[in-house]
Amino acid sequence: MDDTGTDSYDVVVAGGGIAGLTTALVLGRGRRRVAVVDAGSPRNSAAGHVHGYPGREGMPPRDLIAEVRREAAGYGVQLVRGTVASAQVPDAGPGEVRLEDGRRLAFRHLVLATGLRDVIPDLAGAAERWGRDLLQCPYCHGWETADRPLAVLGTAESSIQQALLVSTLSDDVTLIVQPGLEPDAEALDKLQVMGVDVVRGAARALKAPNDALAAVVLEDGREVPCEAVFCEPGADASSALVEDLGCALNEDGTIDTNSLGATSVSRVWAAGNAADPARQVVTAAGDAYRMAVSLNAILLQEDVAERLAAPRQPAAP
């Protein structure tokens, strides 16, 4: 703690999902002083289980996070519950984050691992079903939905690929084509050979009489029976924090980084879904690991430069 009462760290990580915690684990094991500030809402918290994470297959998301928090804390990482509201990164000297409750933490480098918010389809009942039987990813939920009647909400060209992928899970798949999308003849041909039924009509609601999805209800009252529906949610990675810092963004609104994970703002890094909505748990962790190694190399460069610049005792004869 410095004279102003501010705790001081080599690295402050904003966001303690898998990307932020992996960053902290690597740097904590590297004997760096690290704090992770986390608001506690990882993207997959609506899902009952994490799939495709080797060694932890089927673990509830909160248990996985709790486990990695425990591991990081074991290497001296400071875990702070809260929300980073703003950050200042001067050209030289320590930067500072301010939390919503007014606490301040000083840092040499800042990592943004704040994830993203899924923008789910505007259907009655969607919020309650999200992550349960309204699903975004056949890799995350495919096995569990196999051989059941499935639907795919066709909102974009990429929904056609999603429907083809889902057709490898079940013989009963319906693509519900939404207004504005019209699959071309080639796409219709592919859907047909893969056994995907095509229905056109705006979806209005999800019908789940016994807290389990039974059908997608269309505006005209027709129902498409299904036990799970896949969709392509929008991704919103925006935050006042990122705006404040002035980080360059990708076209989809995520934070632009170079191949090492550095953003356009000096001493600010980004990992996980904050930088790429397609990263799954294992790839968000892998991405964060790689970024943490690059960041530690920069910290080492700074350490060496500082010692070289400091007055030194003449070497003993």
Ligand X SMILES: Cc1cc2nc3c(=O)[nH]c(=O)nc-3n(C[C@H](O)[C@H](O)[C@H](O)COP(=O)(O)OP(=O)(O)OC[C@H]3O[C@@H](n4cnc5c(N)ncnc54)[C@H](O)[C@@H]3O)c2cc1C
Instruction: Give the x-and-dash track for 216-255 against ligand X (CB under 6 A).
Output: -----------------------x-x--------------
**β-strand pairing of 84-88 with 78-81:** unpaired
Instruction: Say if residues 37 and 77 touch (Cβ distance below 8 Å).
Output: no
Q: Which two tokens stand for residue 206?
A: 């999800």
Note the residue count of the chain.
317
**DSSP code for 261:** S
Q: Which residue is nearest to ligand X (CB)?
A: 17
Q: How far apart are CA 51 and CA 56, in angstroms?
A: 8
User: Can you read off the two tokens belonging to residue 225?
Assistant: 């029976």
Binding mask 57-96 for ligand X (x = CB under 6 A): --------------------------xx------------
Question: Are 149 and 227 within 8 A, CB to CB?
Answer: yes
Three-class DSSP category at 127: helix
Q: Nearest distance from residue 128's CB to ligand X, in Å?
A: 13
Q: Which residues contact 264 (CB under 8 A, 6 or more apart)?
A: 246, 247, 248, 256
What is the separation, in whole angstroms, between the first and last Cα of the chain?
A: 39
Restricted to residues 270-309, the positions that interact with ligand X (CB under 6 A) are 272-274, 279-282, 284
| Per CB under 6 A, 46 contacts ligand X | yes
Which part of the chain contacts ligand X (CB under 6 A), choosing from 47-55, 103-111, 258-266, 302-310? 47-55
Per CB under 6 A, contacts with ligand X among 150-209 are none
Instruction: Please report how close the Cβ of residue 14 comes to ligand X at its closest, in angstroms.
Output: 5
Angle value at C-alpha 55, between 52 and 58, nearest 5 degrees:
55
Is 47 an interacting residue with respect to ligand X (CB under 6 A)? yes
Q: Which of residues 4-43 bind ligand X (CB under 6 A)?
A: 14-20, 37-43
Size of the site for ligand X (CB under 6 A): 40
| List of residues contacting ligand X (CB under 6 A) | 14-20, 37-44, 46-47, 50-53, 83-84, 113-115, 118, 131, 136, 140, 239, 241, 272-274, 279-282, 284
